[in-house]
Amino acid sequence: VAVATPDMMKDVGRLGMVLGRKGLMPNPKTGTVTPNIAQAVAELKKGRTEFRADKTGVVHIPVGKVSMDSKDTAENVKVFLTELERKKPADAKIGFVRSVSISSSMGPGVWIDFKEAE
């Protein structure tokens, strides 16, 4: 991920063809265009991740690594679901999250009863 100040974006914009293809282009929506570079880099180093829904409403986000304890991964899932619920649109219906599955990068998904996890 690249981080830039607002005044440098005109220069970084020239690299858009290269950075954009790799998903590295700084973006104000993701907080990578900021006057406070040190704070943005510190947040990224702590493991801040961005999430978006695709056009079918599916959200993909890494919540753990093989080296992590299963309790840490479960805690990450709970934190993510809490954050997702907090950021849902005001006009969203009650059943905002319908199902949750967890999988390795290329492995099959395992369905989780997330209502029980709360």
Tens place of pLDDT per residue across the chain (118 aa) = 889 999 999 899 899 899 988 888 998 888 899 999 999 999 888 877 777 788 888 888 888 888 999 899 889 888 888 888 888 888 877 777 888 888 888 889 889 887 765 5
**pTM greater than 0.75:** no
Q: Would you give the distance in Å from CA 72 to the centre of its chain? A: 17
Cβ-based burial of 3 (10 A; exposed 0-12, middle 13-18, buried ≥19): buried
What is the C-alpha separation between 94 and 110, in angstroms, rounded? 24
Q: Would you give the distance in Å from CA 10 to the centre of its chain? A: 26
pLDDT of residue 38: 93
What is the C-alpha separation between 3 and 12, in angstroms, rounded? 10
Q: Are residues 81 and 62 in the same domain?
A: yes
pLDDT of residue 71: 93
pLDDT of residue 117: 54
82 falls within a domain: yes
54 falls within a domain: yes
1 falls within a domain: no
Instruction: State the total domains in the chain.
Output: 2
The domain in which residue 76 lies consists of 50-118
Q: Which two tokens stand for residue 116?
A: 């029980």
Q: Are residues 34 and 54 in the same domain?
A: no
Q: Are residues 24 and 58 in the same domain?
A: no
| 93-115 burial code (b ≥16 CB/10 A, e <16) | eeeeeeebeeeeeeeeeeeeeee
Q: Domain containing 98 — which CATH number?
A: 3.30.190.20
